[in-house]
Chain A
Amino acid sequence: SAVISQKPSRDICQRGTSLTIQCQVDSQVTMMFWYRQQPGQSLTLIATANQGSEATYESGFVIDKFPISRPNLTFSTLTVSNMSPEDSSIYLCSVEDWGTYNEQFFGPGTRLTVL
C-alpha cells in the first residue's frame, strides 16, 4: 500500500487568511482525493485531484474556496481560502489502489483551527 504524508499536521490560522496543505505519496497514483472531516463526523469528499487538468469538485465545494493543484502523479495541494471558523476541520488526502475495489489509503490528516 502507498505511504502518504501531509504537511502541516496541524495549524491555527486567523480568519480571512489562506492555508495550503500538501500531500505527498511514495509512489505514482492515478487517483488522489481530498476529504473534510468535521469534529466527530464522517468523511465528506471535497474533490478529486486530476493530474494535468482541473479538479472535480463535489456538490457544495467550489474551486475559488478550495483550489487544488496536482502537478504530477505523486503530489497534490489543497488550499483553504479566505478562512472562517466554519472551516475548522481535519483535511485528509487519500489515494486509490490500482485495479482493486476503489480501496483508498489515507494520509494522517491536517487539523485546522480557524480563530
Chain B
Amino acid sequence: TQLLEQSPQFLSIQEGENLTVYCNSSSVFSSLQWYRQEPGEGPVLLVTVVTGGEVKKLKRLTFQFGDARKDSSLHITAAQPGDTGLYLCAGVANAGNMLTFGGGTRLMVKP
C-alpha cells in the first residue's frame, strides 16, 4: 500500500478536454509537490503547495492542497498534446523526513 494514492493511473483524452488528477493519503503532509516526467527524461518539478486549502495556478494547470493537507489535485484545462507525460505527486509526511512519491498518472492527450 502506497502512502500516496494517485488516480486515475491512466488517462487518454482528446485535445481541448479538461481533466483532474487526484493524490490522496490518510497521512498529513507538511508539503506536497507535483512533477511531470516526459519519456527519456527525469521528473521536473511543477509546483509545491504548503498551506491547507492553497490553490496555485501555472498557465492551464491548477493545483490545490486539501484543507487537512492529506490530499491534492491537479486540474488541466483545455489539454494539449504537449501535456502528455507521467504526473507524479510527492510529499513529506509530518511524521517523516523523506520524500514519498505517488504511483503516478500517465496522461496521453491526442491531437
Contacts and interface: CB of A to CB of B under 8 A. Distances in A.
A43 B88 contact: yes
Interface stretch (A14-22, A67-75, A81-89, A99-107): A99-107
B45 A105 contact: yes
Contacts, number: 50
Interface residues of B, number: 22
Contacts of A42: 88, 101-104
Interface string B42-76: 11110010100000000000000000000000000
Interface residues of A, number: 21
B92 A102 contact: yes
Nearest to A100: B48
A32 interface: no
B80 interface: no
Contacts of B88: 42-43
B31 A102 contact: yes
A108 B42 contact: yes
Interface of B: 30-31, 33, 40-45, 48, 50, 88, 90, 92, 97-99, 101-104, 106
